[in-house]
Structures are given as C-alpha cells and as structure tokens.
C-alpha cells in the first residue's frame, strides 16, 4: 500500500466497551510442572473459586483426554469476572476454575455433561497482560451457554502455546443445588479444528471507513499438514439505515503460501476466487462456504474483496478483539502489495481482527 490507512470502528453489536476494569496489584498465577498422562481422570479440589485458585490440570499434549469430576451449585462461592459483567452482562459468579498449559499449537475440545435438567455454562479464557482492561488477568475467547438440560460443548479450536483457564458456572437463575455433579472433558488433538482469531462473544466493531475497493484476508496456519480447509464463515452486520448485505454477492478469495511466511506473498495465485451469495441471519448477511481445499503445507489466506461501492451497499468489516495477535492484511492493488492492519480501539488500545472463521480437517491425528 502507498500509505498507512486510518480506520474508524463503530461499536455495533451486543455491548459497548463500557468499563476499563480495576488495576490489580500483586496478581499472580499458579505454576505448572506436571504432565498429564494420555487418559486421566481428576477429581475436583476446592478451593478453586477464583482464577488465582484454579486447579492445575497440567501440561497437555495431542492425544490426551482429561476428565474432571466436579460439583457445583448456584449458591457456591465463586468469582465475578469483570469482563463478563461489564461487556457480556453476566452478573453471576463463576464457581469452579481450572487451568492448563500448552507447549505448542494444537486444538482442544471442551465438553461439560451432567444429569437431569440442570443448567451449567462453560467458558474458556486466555491469559493476558492487560490488567487495566482484564483485572483478573484472563480474557474470554470461547463459551458454551446452552439451555437447561443440554450438555455444553465447545467444538475443537486451535490454541496457540500458552496458558488457559476454564470456568464452570452453575447458572444462578437456574438454582442448581449445591453438590450437583458434572463431568468436564478436555480432548487434545482432534481430527478437525476451528480457527477463531478474534472474540466477538461480547464485543464487536465494524470498520466503515476506507473499505471501498480493498482485498481483506486473514492468515491461518493449521496445527498440522496436510490438511483440508472445509468451512469458511463471516458475518456482515447491518448498520443503521444502510441496506442489508443478505442476498448480495461477494467475491471470496483463498490462496496458500507453501513457504509459510509472515505476510501474504505478492500476486498470489488463488485456489478459490468466486462470487458467493450471502445468506440472511436476521437483518445481517452471513457468508457460509464449504470449499474443500487441500493444504499440503504452509499458511492459508482467506478473505473477500469489497467493491468500490461497499459502503453504499451496506458492507463493513466486522471485527472482534484479537486473540492471537494481528492476522489481518489489506491490499488496494489486487494483492500486488499487502499491509498488516492493526484495527485499534483509540480509547483502550485493544486491537481487533477481521471476523473471518475457518475450519480445517485432518486425516492423521495423534
């Protein structure tokens, strides 16, 4: 690109970022030294009512299945997470916390089962150094909040190396009795994995300026190759009096960099370059694509070309708070040159990533 492009974000969905949180001094996490065996059953140990008391599940590697047998009730002691309260409107405490560590990139599935018509939720957090905004030192990246009686299931998702936290919530309004049993299962290294580079669970923004006639892509790296890219989705929010994008056609572009460089290659050859009609999702437009593209090695770039009259047609770039760094790139010259884009909230300094999500499947798993 010839010059850096300024972008303006407009908060449009769920909740505004209304609270910066409280500064917590002397914050620390528990240390991890143990390595879990291939299949392990662990009993819950109290107290584990706060992230600083989280029960350690150890270092996990592909092929492991870890089962935790625990109990919780709606009136048990727990911790109110600032982000959940301020951004998501979740007022009740999270009763039980667990923590684990990954030495390398892999995928993990989280399942929570229980008997009867009880109501539990499960939430996954990643550690963060932004204590001003996330005073407990953790930020939400995924959640499963199904209705009463339905087990919770967070589909296998790609996780970078690092430390993660799990919160089990006996939903307060459901009056779950104390001592109600649940089973939490972590399966590491699954035959498929979702790649979510951003969190739009509670906060989303729309980039609405300088988006005409640009190519927008996100960078993805499956945790193993060969792999198959079998699903792509992206949401295009309806903004104010602008027309809905539902029913409109959008050019979708996918290309592979076998060398796996840090930035997209110049003038890449697409493996997919087609116009795709967006489906309705309420008033919004939803891209859903099943491309079935083989990825022998390297990194994959998935995105779309916004037309010269994008704003008039109601298009914007839906973004969420970045989970794994800045992975969005823009080109104004059909891919001859690329610029990494840092969508940043000018108030909090938090960066955002384009909300394009993918799924990869593998033939060989641990």
104 with 161: CB under 8 angstroms?
Answer: yes
Taking the C-alpha atoms of residue 280 and residue 276, their distance in angstroms, rounded to an integer, is: 13
Percent of the chain with pLDDT over 70: 89
Q: What are phi and psi of 254, to 5 degrees?
A: -135, 130
pLDDT tens figures, 22-75? 222 233 334 444 555 589 999 999 999 999 999 999 999 999 999 999 999 999
**Residue 358 clears pLDDT 90, i.e. is over it:** yes
pLDDT value of residue 23: 22
The pLDDT value recorded for residue 326 is: 86
Element at 87 (helix H, strand E):
helix 82-88
CB 252 within 8 A of CB 287: yes
Outline where the chain has alpha helix (H): 82-88
Token pair recorded at residue 240: 């104010």
Name 238's Cβ contacts closer than 8 Å, sequence gap at least 6: 244, 245, 283, 284, 285, 314
Who contacts 276 (Cβ-Cβ below 8 Å, separation ≥6)?
249, 250, 251, 252, 287, 289
74-129 pLDDT, tens digit per residue, is 999 999 999 998 888 888 789 999 999 999 999 999 999 999 999 999 999 999 99
Q: Which range is least confidently modeled, 219-223, 259-263, 314-318, 339-343?
A: 339-343
pTM greater than the 0.85 cutoff: yes
Number of H helices, E strands in the chain: 1, 28
> Where is pLDDT greater, at 33 or 265?
265
Q: With 60 as the cut, is the pLDDT of residue 334 above it?
A: yes
- Residue 354 confidence (pLDDT): 95
Predicted pLDDT of residue 7: 52
Res. 344: pLDDT tops 70: yes
Pairing of strands 55-60, 96-102: parallel
Asked if the model's pLDDT at residue 17 lies above 50, the reply is: no
Sign of CA dihedral 16, 5, 355, 340: negative
Averaged pLDDT of the chain: 89
The pLDDT confidence band at residue 366, using thresholds 50, 70 and 90, is low
Classified by CATH at the fold level, domain 9-16+196-361 comes out as Jelly Rolls (2.60.120)
> Which overall architecture, per CATH, does domain 39-190 show?
Sandwich (2.60)
CATH 2.60.120.380 domain extents, the chain: 39-190
Written as six digits, the tokens of 43 are 């009993």
- How high is the pLDDT of residue 172? 86
CB 192 within 8 A of CB 158: no
Q: pLDDT at residue 19 above 90?
A: no
Q: How many CB atoms lie within 10 A of CB 43?
A: 10
What would the two tokens of residue 58 be? Answer: 């150890």
Least confident range of 62-66, 338-342, 359-363? 338-342
> Considering Cα of 272, then 267, then 359, then 38, what sign does the dihedral take?
positive
What are 137-189's pLDDT values in tens digits?
999 999 999 999 999 999 999 999 999 999 999 998 888 999 999 999 999 99
């Amino acid at each position: 690109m010839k010059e850096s492009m300024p972008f303006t974000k407009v908060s449009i969905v769920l909740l505004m970022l209304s609270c910066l949180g409280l500064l917590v001094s002397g914050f620390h996490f528990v240390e991890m030294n143990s390595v879990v065996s291939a299949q392990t059953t662990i009993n819950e140990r109290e107290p584990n009512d706060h992230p600083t008391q989280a029960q350690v599940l150890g270092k996990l590697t592909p092929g492991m299945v870890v089962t935790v047998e625990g109990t919780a009730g709606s009136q048990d002691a727990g911790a109110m997470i600032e982000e959940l309260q301020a951004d998501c409107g979740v007022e009740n405490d999270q009763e039980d916390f667990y923590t684990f560590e990954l030495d390398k990139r892999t995928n993990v599935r989280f399942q929570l089962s229980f008997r009867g018509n009880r109501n539990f939720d499960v939430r996954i957090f990643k550690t963060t150094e932004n204590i001003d905004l996330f005073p407990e030192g953790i930020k939400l990246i995924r959640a499963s909040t199904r209705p009463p009686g339905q087990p919770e299931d967070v589909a296998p998702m790609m996780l970078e190396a690092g430390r993660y936290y799990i919160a089990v919530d006996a939903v307060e309004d459901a009056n779950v009795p104390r001592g109600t049993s649940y089973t939490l299962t972590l399966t590491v290294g699954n035959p498929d994995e979702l790649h979510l580079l951003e969190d739009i669970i509670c906060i989303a923004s729309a980039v609405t300026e300088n988006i005409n006639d640009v190519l927008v892509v996100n960078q993805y790296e499956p945790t193993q190759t060969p792999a198959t890219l079998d699903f792509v989705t992206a949401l295009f929010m309806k903004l104010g009096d602008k027309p809905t994008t539902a029913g409109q056609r959008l050019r979708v572009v996918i290309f592979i960099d076998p060398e796996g460089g840090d930035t997209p290659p110049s003038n890449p050859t697409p493996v997919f370059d087609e116009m795709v009609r967006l489906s309705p999702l309420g008033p919004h437009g939803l891209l859903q694509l099943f491309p079935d593209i083989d990825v022998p090695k390297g990194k994959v770039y998935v995105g779309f070309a916004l037309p010269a009259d994008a704003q008039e047609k109601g298009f914007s770039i839906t973004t969420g708070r970045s989970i794994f760094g800045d992975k969005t790139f823009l080109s104004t010259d059909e891919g001859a040159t690329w610029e990494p884009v840092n969508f940043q909230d000018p108030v909090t300094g938090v960066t955002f990533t384009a909300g394009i999500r993918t799924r990869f499947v593998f033939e060989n798993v641990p």
